[in-house]
Chain A
């Protein structure tokens, strides 16, 4: 840009603006780092945990079955947190730390897979509905309304319950997090589709789209190369919200026993088991699984909040 009174005026790109704004949002940065750590630990979990006391697992901590005696010599299965079991053991003597770490895998798979599905399906449906007015728009939006009209939790519960028994569902989806993730992904995209459609409706009329059309770009190129990148901000923000919601719903399903099936550890399942033994004063399984869940969802939501502040170009500097 021009030089004025000896001050060089540097052009600032969208990306630079975004990253400065995000960095100013300290809580969002911390949340991002926490999520990254949780993700890495969960990825590496099979290397150093044995959630079900497998005899041949590569655990760095001492093996629970060797150590079930309390200091007074009494044999115990449920051990309160202590040096070698920082989080204690559960009712059947499994290491809670191992299970909490391992349980993150289910939550993250559900969060990431559901988020991706929602982002892709919501964007595509919303893009086509917003770009092609008339029959396509009408048809797609009626379908979207139908999906949005379904009572989410009741449907998720009945499908979650039936998943292991459904004959047409592939093996890998029946009892693990994948099935739940795909189920939630196919139920949750409606809101994003509406948002993307609204964006497309207004962007479709903008001059740069006219210019692209005049330059001979075909519809597909205009939709995916010209309009979609401009609708990215709401897509990212909405997807972050969905990730948090999906993690919570998976946990709720597992808590009720209709989500990821035992013996695979999940935070929701552990909370249910922990709630069962907590009245006897055995608080740790509930406390640690619940904390892991809350910290993860809180981080996702803080990150989403920061992203929204950073991505919203209408926001001015005065706003805190």
Chain B
């Protein structure tokens, strides 16, 4: 078995607010293999973005703080190296693209300036070569007249085009890992599909490992090899694409799938919704965090926090009743259908 490219162990990131300590990410561990495309799915506030920001060490003190954990990358713990060493990793080896392309580019510099800046920061090239690299990066993301458009300002691009620029910027230094935080959420559906196609092809061609953060299961289905589902700062289920979509084990995953429109089912299927709202990550319930919203909760769920465990022939799940629930979930899905 190959070594993981990136290995996260027991990561905890807390924020202090007026109301109390927010445990945004509370003890998660996962590995990312070279070239793997990993989906991280969850509702807003589940800690998926904070996970990404923690890996990049972009969580800003004093409000946010990485309390414990290690992020091992090429034998080094990214959380322990100096800021200067980390800067070489950021953008160069691990790149990140963000949700809102409309606001993620600096409005007062041309996209060329911003691309060239990144390239010259991480590669030993002169300005003219950097410009060529930048033009190539733009044409790789299928922006027409790439060389000319380097001199345009972000406001002269449409939303989809700006996200292409962001992708070009992220991939311009050939990183080993690309973290994409809700890259298509702010875009319309057609553009979404084009952008995801583009990312898939670019990542596959270059063998870039991708962590795709999204709340949209539909996006994950076509893109990822493996998926992990986050809820209230923890991972509740993990597995291959098939595991998650065809053999979900956690009631929360099941709920998420149920609330998704599917084109391959009969039209009169009623959409399921998970009752209640995600818990405030300040006053987390004891035991299983999903318990207050779970139809299958028992006394044990109220007392004991379920840990992630492997189920034979399936993925990993953090639920005490995964085996017993199996039938019921199937039945419930049937009942809902």
Contacts and interface: CB of A to CB of B under 8 A. Distances in A.
Do A and B touch (CB < 8 Å)? yes
Interface in B3-19: 17-19
Contacts of B18: 317-318, 320
Interface of A: 4-5, 317-318, 320
Interface of B: 17-19, 276, 292
B19 A317 contact: yes
A5 B19 contact: no
Contacts of A5: 276, 292
Contacts of B19: 317
Nearest to B17: A318
B277 to A, nearest CB: 8
A320 B19 CA distance: 12
Nearest to B63: A318
Contacts of A318: 17-18
A280 to B, nearest CB: 53
A112 B292 CA distance: 54
A231 to B, nearest CB: 26
A158 to B, nearest CB: 43
Contacts of B276: 4-5
9 contacts: A4-B276, A5-B276, A5-B292, A317-B17, A317-B18, A317-B19, A318-B17, A318-B18, A320-B18
Contacts of B17: 317-318
Nearest to A319: B18
Given A4-B276, A318-B17, 7 more contacts: A5-B276, A5-B292, A317-B17, A317-B18, A317-B19, A318-B18, A320-B18
A299 to B, nearest CB: 26
A117 to B, nearest CB: 39
Nearest to A5: B292
B290 to A, nearest CB: 13
Nearest to B279: A5
A318 B20 CA distance: 11
B91 to A, nearest CB: 28
Nearest to A320: B18
A64 to B, nearest CB: 53
Per CB-CB distance, the 5 closest pairs between chain A and chain B, nearest first, are A5-B292, A318-B17, A4-B276, A317-B18, A5-B276
Contacts of A4: 276
A25 B101 CA distance: 36
A4 B18 CA distance: 25
A317 B282 CA distance: 14
A5 B276 CA distance: 9
Nearest to B285: A5
A68 B19 CA distance: 61
B221 to A, nearest CB: 31
A4 B279 CA distance: 12
A320 B18 CA distance: 9
Nearest to A9: B277
A317 B15 CA distance: 14
A45 B154 CA distance: 62
A318 to B, nearest CB: 6
Nearest to A318: B17
A318 B17 CA distance: 7
A311 B244 CA distance: 46
Contacts of B292: 5
A320 B17 CA distance: 10
A7 to B, nearest CB: 10
A250 to B, nearest CB: 40
A179 B209 CA distance: 74
A318 B276 CA distance: 24
B284 to A, nearest CB: 14
A5 B292 CA distance: 7
A248 to B, nearest CB: 35
Contacts of A320: 18
B319 to A, nearest CB: 20
Nearest to B275: A4
A317 B20 CA distance: 12
A318 B19 CA distance: 9
A4 B19 CA distance: 21
A317 B280 CA distance: 14
A318 B15 CA distance: 11
A5 B293 CA distance: 9
